[in-house]
Amino acid sequence: KGKNENDNASIASISRVYSCGSNERNQLGREGTWKRFQVIPELNNHLVVQLSCGYNHSLALTEAGQVFGFGCNLFGQLGIRTEHESLPKPTLIKKLAHEIIIQVACGGTHSIALTKKGLLYSWGSNGFGQLGTGDKGRCLYDPVVITKLSSIAVRCISAGGSHSMAVSYGNNIYVWGKNEFGQLGLGDTANRLSPCFQSALSNQEICYVSCGDDHSAAITRDGGLFTWGAGMYGQLGHGKFSNELLPRRVCELMGLQVSQVSCGRCHTLVVIGSKGRIYSFGLNGCGQLGIGTQTSESSPVKISGPWVEFDANEVTVRRISGPVVELNVNPEIKIESEWKDIDERMSIEDVDDDDFSGERDISLSPTFISSKGDDSDSPVVEEPEDMESAPCGRSSVEISEYISDPDSDCETEKPIFSNHLVSSLGGSVPGSHPRVNHVKLLAASASKGDQSFILTTRLDVNFSAVDYRNIGSTGNIYVFDNSVFDNMLLIDADERIPDEIIEYIESTFGSVASWNGSYLSSKTSESSPRINWESAYYGFNCLRKCPNQRLTEIAMNVIQEHLFPTLPTNCDNLDDEALRIFLLLPLFHIFHSEVQLKKIATLLSPFSKCMNRLNESAKKCVELWMTAVDKEYFQKLVEAYKSGVIFNLKEISEVKKKEEEEKVIHRGSTTQASAWLKDGLDMLRFLNNVNQKTKLLLYKEFYVPELHDTADIKMDYVEWLRAKHTTQKHPTNLFFCDYPFIFDAAAKTKILSVDSMIMRQKAAENVFQFILPLPHAQVVLTQSPFFEITVRRGSLVYSAAAQLLTERPPSEYKKPLKINFESKLSHVFVLRFLFHVLLHVNSLIDEEAVDAGAGVKKEFFLLLTKELLEIGKDDENSVPKFIEHDNGHTIWFNPNEIADYDLDIYELLGIVCALAIYNEVIIYAPFPLPLYKKILNEELELDDLSYLDQYLTKSLKEILHTSYTENEFDAVYCDLYFVATITIKGKAQEFELCKNGNTRRLTYKNRTEFVELYWKFMLNKSVEKSFGAFKTGFSKVVDNNLLHLFHAEELMQMVTGESACDWYLVEKDTVYKEPFSATHPTVKMFWKVFHSLSEEDKRNFLLFLTGSDKIPIVGLKMAMQPVKVSDEHLPVVHTCFNIVDLPEIYTSEEKLRSKLLQAIKHTQGFALA
């Protein structure tokens, strides 16, 4: 694609390159006449596929991916270090010889090149930052990688006078360099020293860009044309002669599909491929618009030339015989004579290799370059001895005689003359092999000068108009190709792998750009990673199934040695499309293979490190994309890192055991394993954050139960607390408490226990420090190990409030609770306790684990909670503190105004719920999940209202996402106002959602505001005071440091128990008193009968055994012991201890079933009526 201010270079055939024009800087690449096209002989042995020209230098790209430069090298624009100011013959750029180059672009005095691996190189002048290296001024004589774009899959490149642009596979534009006239399209005139994402066109799916000297143009996927930058000559096509700092669509061409665009110095050419039309606009002092005048145009003007316009949708091409074809547009159009005439006037096949004749006069209309005749027949302009005296024919438009870089630090700056017409014959498409034959519109090219060339060829049955919107129209970088993976399946296990397959693996798997450019799908939304998951799964599954495992080994080595070191870091201000690799890489099957130390060291840990190196905005982008992946993908990734964490935990544990046995410290091995462990935990934390949004997995699937056997959880919590209050750095800087999502219920119970112990110890230390200064003090410190309170059964709420609401140190609340009743115990408890003492005084199971006060404590919690929740419920003259929702299955705070003294009730309930956690007692408090989210300061949303009232939530969603038109909506909901209706004690009450809400009607336009105000009123605004008091009480007991350990669901289950129960696990965990055992006939018969019961009956058994129909989050501890009585007796339970007494022998299953059902259906236990 020749774009040169002083010379023309053209690919005339698949093996010949011609040039003509100014040659004062050797930019023709040959000797001889400058006024005629002549072959560049040094390129005859190379298949040149692309040409690009700057002001005074040229680059030629060969099919082999080599780049040759010739012409001026004052600023290093040839990429060749030499003492000479110019090179007269094409010379290989050796610094790029190790790369396969697929595209080149010459700016005025700089150059850029794209490699097959997706790297973008630049060299030459850098006065305005046009090299994209992050600085300016210093010329670069050697090509350097533009690191800012190394992660972007670049589709095409373009270089202007002093600015550069690249289009990505994601259809985004990146710009850098000079911006004096807004040619970067960033909304200002500040130069950019490194590539910047052009956000203005981010929604337009840009496919191709072209740079003029100081203006730019871009084509969209749907054929739209945008231009921006310098517009003083009308080169932007917007109908005015002014600059544009932001891209603006050329409205005159709307409705037409632009397939090509080419920017000259101050003019622009546009091709409408489907119509066979060419439009031009901009400066026309030299007739470069081809419209027959020298008047500049600010709007697109169609060029009439010796070619045929047609509608591609209506054209029919049929071969008659040999080279003869028939073109039919419709029966009335006959164009054969026109084609014949054109055929006679232009035929490059008859041209002498040495002699293309050229004219030096201005041509105001498209004219064929004649190939007939010789020197005597063609108009000749004598070559002046002094190039400066050559006629320019530019009318009043001149290019500066001195093209230098004012901001350059290059030592050599000499005048570069620019006073000859320049053009590019053919403007061949990069990466293609054009044949210039007769009359098929193929390409249009303007140059940085003031002229234009149109390349045409014969229209035949193989007709295919060049369209720059197609990704195949330019040289393409390596991307994953499923057809190549299919071929890999054919390579046997012991077969030699072909070199081209090895090269393909090394090039694709080692290139970040190749990963990011692979398996692209169409853009569906801004939050979409644009990955074709079906194709991606197919490709990587092919690699997994390959019989030859050496293919996987090569890919693994390339990823480890070349890919990971080049992944994006937190230093990069990246666009989103540079991050697709973080979703594609986990598809590599080694991620999900059996965990091994090598896998952790070479794949899992490095990938996690790379993820952690990303800046926060990049992490949030990957996190957002992860929320859209399928469950199988996400679960496999979680399992892979969980396996790695468990493997490292065991490694560290074994090393420590070995150290204890050998009394030798293996510090290196534990340090490395700890580092890998931290990497794995960091990745699990990232995945857990994703899961909190998607709920793809149960939070329990992140638990790592192996911690109990491999780590000291209690000591980890102590060290974690110490590190939070000291500047001293921990040796490994790794605390499991920073990853609370891996703790199961048992681990969190241990932490609660050690936290209680720490608080008690602190309290004792404070007392000791207080009395220490007293002289001759002899004090005996007696501190009770219990939090002891005395309550009256007849006034349980008031007596409990009097003691629990009293100001006391936080450590007091965290002691084991001991309850003393002033009145007699409940008859149920007395009878059961006496029965146990009389019959089984020496037969308690696991006596050390039994708390003799557990039953009393359990009764206290259940009765107190019941009374608190029912305050005001049955009294018609009082206001209930809580109201029921969802048919009584859920309760919530009363939204009515409450007196300040009533806040004590809410605070007391908060204390009770928190005490239940520390004392491992589950209570009946049917608050919905949003309560616990609010305790943890989690943001609520509309969906959270469904835990409170499903029908209300559904109705609000129907209002929000209505299918009604505006008029229909307003008619249907005309009776609704901005008020919330809540039923309290069977009566509907209305609450205004906003000021004057009872007179503000719900309409189609304000429905979003209505829904938001409604759910926020229900969950937040209406309960602000009451919930605040509840949280105050809760926080008196549970420290904020501990709250971060819990999920909202876990916190809820710690208070009220877990609904889901694995009954077979209950059986497995049950202990027995001899002669009972798991294999005893009566025990086996019991479990057989139990598992055959309905779910409701099983829940009733729980109520019979424990006083609650839910199980503690830490699991149910149950015991079973024999009683030497007949099978006519009912089974008996000891609710204080979770013990079941069974007759030692049952005569039949039917008898056991009958007695068991009779017992559980007639018990009251501590259940709430």
Catalytic center residues: 1136
Q: Distance between CA 917 and CA 922 in Å, rounded?
A: 8
Dihedral in degrees, nearest 10, Cα atoms 488, 489, 494, 498 = -20
- The answer to whether the CB of 892 falls within 8 A of the CB of 927 is yes
- Beta 817-821 vs 787-791: how paired, if at all? parallel
Provide the token pair at 803. Answer: 């003691």
Using H for helix, E for strand and C for coil, what is the string for 180-249? CCCCCCCCCCCCEEEEEECHHHCCCCEEEEEECCCEEEEEECCCCEEEEECCCCCCCCCCCCCCEEEEEE
C-alpha separations of 23 from 7, 90, 265 in Å: 7, 14, 19
Containing H/E element for 278? strand 277-282
C-alpha separations of 981 from 267, 736, 978, 987, 1008 in Å: 68, 47, 10, 10, 18
Provide the token pair at 306. Answer: 């010796």
DSSP 124-155: E--TTSTT-SS--S--EEEEEE-GGGTTS-EE
Q: Distance between CA 1002 and CA 999 in Å, rounded?
A: 10
Q: Distance between CA 1075 and CA 731 in Å, rounded?
A: 52
Backbone angles phi, psi at 283, to 5 degrees: -60, 140
Q: Distance between CA 1018 and CA 1008 in Å, rounded?
A: 16
Q: Which residues in 1007-1164 belong to E strands, given as ranges?
A: 1071-1072, 1119-1123, 1132-1134, 1139-1143
Provide the token pair at 907. Answer: 């605070």
- The answer to whether the CB of 782 falls within 8 A of the CB of 752 is no
**Residue 385, SS3?**
coil
Which amino acid is present at 471? I
The DSSP symbol for 104 reads E
Q: Distance between CA 213 and CA 159 in Å, rounded?
A: 9
Q: Distance between CA 69 and CA 215 in Å, rounded?
A: 26
Q: Distance between CA 791 and CA 731 in Å, rounded?
A: 49
Provide the token pair at 1013. Answer: 């105000």
Provide the token pair at 941. Answer: 């949303």
Sign of CA dihedral 187, 192, 197, 201: positive
Backbone angles phi, psi at 722, to 5 degrees: -65, -40
Cα–Cα nearest to 41, from 61, 21, 16, 60:
16
- The answer to whether the CB of 124 falls within 8 A of the CB of 109 is yes
Which amino acid is present at 438? H
Q: Distance between CA 479 and CA 153 in Å, rounded?
A: 9
- The answer to whether the CB of 228 falls within 8 A of the CB of 209 is no
- The answer to whether the CB of 948 falls within 8 A of the CB of 884 is no
Backbone angles phi, psi at 1021, to 5 degrees: -60, -45
C-alpha separations of 779 from 107, 771, 772, 774, 970 in Å: 90, 8, 10, 10, 79
